[in-house]
């Protein structure tokens, strides 16, 4: 049986073992997947120990995504662009790092019926979550992608770093106050505001008719961002539970070469959260 794990600190809350167990059962893959608590100053040692046990791959969550990328011998274009990795592959060549968060987001948006091509997209935040999402979002060819952040300089720096070569998409960075008078088709919250029951300060009129408000965070109830979006007129709301499942499916594919059906896993996980609330 092949060994896989997710490393983080904290990690007890992780849904990844449950998700990957469903994927393995569905695809008849013989794997063992567990959550491992790594010391904040001992991530590299924890990964080395796991490899010595025969580990074939790992997921990585906070606070180790930057370190995971730096630890690797090779990096995918997605990991290189993000500067962070949530997926590690161990083989005879060493460690390969990838970042499946952005593709997980894009696939979840597709499940929700949103085609980003030609859309006006607003990405809130300029940290690791936003950086990991940018390359896959730009690959979908939105007409514009605006990065808004409390610290304007961070938004501007991120927009500069990801300026799309050869693409028609307008990539902009700004502060929240500069959003007054702008309208978007998809608004994605990549900040951690929902963890503190808060929401970014968005103006009236920000949501176009039929617009989607999407929070990368998830829970058994609506996040504060989703509640605020409804108050501002967003017609469709979603949390990031589907993104969690989709990024896991991409990791599973990278490790096992088979792509699981995410829909039943998404539905089952949602039911599990509802029952536990």
Q: Is the pLDDT of residue 193 over 80?
A: yes
pLDDT at 192: 87
* Residue-level pLDDT at 165: 63
Phi, psi of 252 (to 5 degrees): -60, -40
- Hunting for tokens 């503190």 — which residue is that? 196
Task: State which CATH number among 3.40.50.300, 3.40.50.720, 1.10.1060.10, 3.30.565.10 fits the domain covering 102-241.
Answer: 3.40.50.720
- For the question of residue 65 being annotated catalytic, the response is yes
pLDDT value for 272 = 87
Q: Which residues neighbour 207 within 8 Å (Cβ) at sequence distance 6 or greater?
A: 183, 184, 187, 213, 229, 232, 233, 234, 235
pLDDT in tens, 42-96: 999 999 999 999 999 999 998 999 999 999 999 999 999 999 999 999 999 999 9
**124-137 tens-digit pLDDT:** 999 889 999 999 99
**Secondary structure, 3-state, the chain:** CEEEEEEECCCCCCCHHHHHHHHHHHHCCCEEEEEEECCCCCHHHHHHHHHHCCEEEEEECCCCHHHHHHHCCEECHHHHHHCCCCEEEEECCEEEEECCHHHHHHHHHHHCCCCCCCCEEEEECCCHHHHHHHHHHHHCCCCEEEEECCCHHHHHHHHHHCCCCCCCCEEEEECHHHHCCCCEEEEEECCCHHHHCCCCCCCCCCEEEEEEEEECCCCCCCCHHHHHHHHCCCCEEECCHHHHHHHHHHHHHHHHCCCCCHHHHHHHHHHHHHHHC
The residues near 48 (Cβ < 8 Å, ≥ 6 apart) are none
Strand order in the sheet with 94-98: 31-37, 2-8, 55-60, 87-91, 94-98, 74-75
More confident residue, 169 or 105: 105
Fold for domain 2-98? Rossmann fold (3.40.50)
| Residue from 89, 74, 120, 82 nearest 103 by CA | 82
For residues 212-229, give the mean pLDDT.
94
As annotated, the residues of the chain forming the CATH 3.40.50.10860 domain(s) are 2-98
pLDDT given for residue 84 in this prediction: 93
CATH 3.40.50.720 maps onto the chain at 102-241
Residue of 20, 22, 56, 65 marked catalytic:
65
- Judge whether 35 and 5 are in contact, CB under 8 Å: yes
pTM for the whole structure: 0.94
Binding residues for NADP(+): 125-129, 149-154, 216, 240
- 158-177 confidence digits (pLDDT tens): 999 998 765 678 899 999 99
Residue positions forming the annotated binding site for shikimate: 14-16, 61, 86, 101, 218, 247
């Amino acid at each position: 049986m092949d060994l896989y794990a997710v490393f983080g600190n904290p990690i007890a809350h992780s849904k990844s073992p449950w998700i990957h167990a469903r994927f393995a059962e569905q695809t008849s893959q013989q794997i063992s997947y567990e959550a491992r608590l790594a010391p904040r100053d001992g991530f590299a040692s924890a990964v080395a120990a796991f490899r010595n046990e025969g580990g074939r791959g790992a997921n990585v969550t906070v606070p180790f995504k930057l370190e995971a990328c730096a630890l690797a011998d090779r990096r995918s274009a997605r990991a290189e662009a993000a500067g962070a990795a949530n997926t590690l592959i161990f083989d005879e060549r060493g460690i390969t790092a990838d970042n499946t968060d952005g593709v997980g987001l894009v696939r979840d948006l597709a499940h929700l019926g949103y085609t980003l091509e030609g859309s006006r997209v607003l990405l809130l935040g300029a940290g690791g979550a936003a950086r990991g999402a940018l390359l896959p979002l730009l690959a979908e060819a939105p007409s514009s992608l605006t990065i808004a952040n409390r610290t304007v300089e961070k938004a501007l720096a991120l927009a500069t770093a990801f300026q799309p070569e050869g693409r028609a998409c307008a990539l902009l960075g700004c502060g929240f106050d500069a959003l007054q008078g702008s309208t978007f088709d998809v608004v994605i919250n990549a900040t951690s505001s929902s963890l503190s029951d808060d929401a970014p300060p968005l103006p009236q009129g920000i949501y176009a008719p039929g617009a989607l408000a999407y929070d990368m965070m998830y829970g058994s109830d609506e996040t504060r961002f989703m509640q605020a979006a409804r108050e501002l007129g967003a017609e469709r709301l979603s949390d990031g539970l589907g993104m969690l499942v989709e990024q896991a499916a991409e990791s599973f594919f990278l490790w096992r070469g088979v792509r699981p059906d995410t829909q039943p896993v998404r539905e089952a996980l949602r039911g599990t959260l509802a029952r536990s609330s």
